[in-house]
Amino acid sequence: MSRNRIKLNICGVEFALTADDSESYIRAIAEEVETAVQDIVDRNDRISVTIAALLTALNYCDERRKAVDSADHLRSQIKDYLEDSARARTEADEARRESERLKKELQTLRARLSEQTEQAAKAASEKSVEEKKSVHAEDKPIPSEDRPAQKKPDKSAQKAPRPQSAYTRAAREHIPGEHAQTVVEDPEGFMSFFEKKDDEQ
């Protein structure tokens, strides 16, 4: 790239310089410097053009340093943002992979649950059929040879008759066509008591 030789006049001072930038760009910067110097001279008549040029240079150096510091701060923030973005992207990729793994695991569990449910329903159906068959088998009459032998009542275990009174014993016999008769024994000569009375008289 060819270097450009440019003649400038700033505040009455003429000089020439060479630069890699275009002539228009250099002249625009020269006009900006001349404006800044002229503003300082206009605000204070005692200041010479040399002092005003030095003050202008100081102002531009101050602005440059602040701009550099601000750029460094912005660059640091951008770096932090890029690191956060990369970290977030990595976490998002891991979360996506974990989500895919959980989806596959969920599908596997659903398939296994469906299979177990079908097996349980099939087992319940088979059990119900077996219970129905068992109920029908119990409803059939049992052959006499398969019936358990019935025990005859033990007569000896029957309640013994209550002893009759010494004074009266009644025996009731039911004879077809006749009324029940009651036989009463004479307690210790009950009738003889009246016989003795008759003898005394």
* pTM of the full structure: 0.43
Q: Evaluate whether residue 102 is within a structural domain.
A: no
Counting as low any pLDDT under 70, the low residues of the chain are: 1, 135-201
Q: Evaluate whether residue 103 is within a structural domain.
A: no
Contact 38, 53 (CB under 8 A): no
Q: Give me the phi and psi of 25, to 5 degrees please.
A: -65, -45
Residue 73 identity (one-letter amino acid): H
Q: Evaluate whether residue 178 is within a structural domain.
A: no
Domain total in the chain = 1
Predicted local distance difference test score (pLDDT) of residue 173:
47
Q: Evaluate whether residue 111 is within a structural domain.
A: no
Contact 82, 74 (CB under 8 A): no
Predicted local distance difference test score (pLDDT) of residue 165:
47
| pLDDT tens-place string over residues 174-186 | 444 444 444 445 5
Q: Evaluate whether residue 44 is within a structural domain.
A: yes
Q: Evaluate whether residue 35 is within a structural domain.
A: yes
Structural domain harbouring 58: 4-96
Question: What residues does 6 pair with on adjacent strands?
Answer: 17
Predicted local distance difference test score (pLDDT) of residue 91:
92
Q: Evaluate whether residue 116 is within a structural domain.
A: no
What b/e string do you get for 139-156 counting C-beta neighbours within 10 Å, with b at 16 or more?
A: eeeeeeeeeeeeeeeeee
Residue 154 identity (one-letter amino acid): D
Residue 128 identity (one-letter amino acid): S
First to last CA, the chain: 189
Q: Evaluate whether residue 18 is within a structural domain.
A: yes
Predicted local distance difference test score (pLDDT) of residue 141:
57
| pLDDT tens-place string over residues 153-166 | 555 545 555 554 44
